[in-house]
Amino acid sequence: MTTPAVFVDTSAFYALADAHDAAHRVVRRRWGALIQQKRPLITTIAVAAETASLIRRWLGFDEAQGWLDQLERARLVRALELVFVGEREYAVAREFFRQLADPKLSFVDALSFSVMRLREVRNCLTLDDDFRQAGFELYEG
C-alpha cells in the first residue's frame, strides 16, 4: 500500500520561509511530521511561481533565490514532485473556477484543485480554507 501524497500550497511554503509569519511554527511542525512520515509531496509550477514572487517581494531577492534552490534540490532527489500543468489540468481548473462561487478563489488554487483531483490527492498542507471548501482535507499532522 502506498503512502498518500500531500499537496503543498503557497500559504504553507510562504509560512515556512518567513520565520516572522504568524503560522510559521504551526506549519513547520506539520512539515516536520510530513517528512518524518515520508509522505510524498506534490505542488505545481503555478504554486512555485506564486511562492517565489511573494518571497521576493516580502523577504528579498536572496531569500527567493534560496527558496527556489531548495525547491529544485527537493525535486531532483524526488522528495517533492513539481507538476507542470498541461491542457487537461487547465480544463479541469477552468471548471473549478467556474463552479466555485467564492470571489476570492484564485486561478492558482483552481489549478491546484485540478492537479489534486486528477492525481487523487486528498490532503493539502495549506492555511487556505478554499481547499476545504473544494472538498479536500487540510493536513494537520
Asked if the model's pLDDT at residue 1 lies above 80, the reply is no
Architecture of domain 6-133: 3-Layer(aba) Sandwich (3.40)
Average pLDDT, integer, range 85-96: 97
> CB atoms < 10 A from the CB of 131, how many?
23
Asked if the model's pLDDT at residue 22 lies above 80, the reply is yes
User: What's the pLDDT tens digit per position in 57-88?
Assistant: 999 999 999 999 999 999 999 999 999 999 99
Q: Which residues of 31-62 are buried (b: 16+ CB within 10 A; e: fewer)?
A: beebeeeebebbbbebbbebbbebbbeebeee
Q: Residue 12: which H helix or E strand, with range?
A: helix 10-17
Domain ranges of the chain: 6-133
- Listed in sequence order, the residues at least 6 apart from 32 whose beta carbon sits closer than 8 Å to its beta carbon are none
User: What's the pLDDT tens digit per position in 33-53?
Assistant: 999 999 999 999 999 999 999
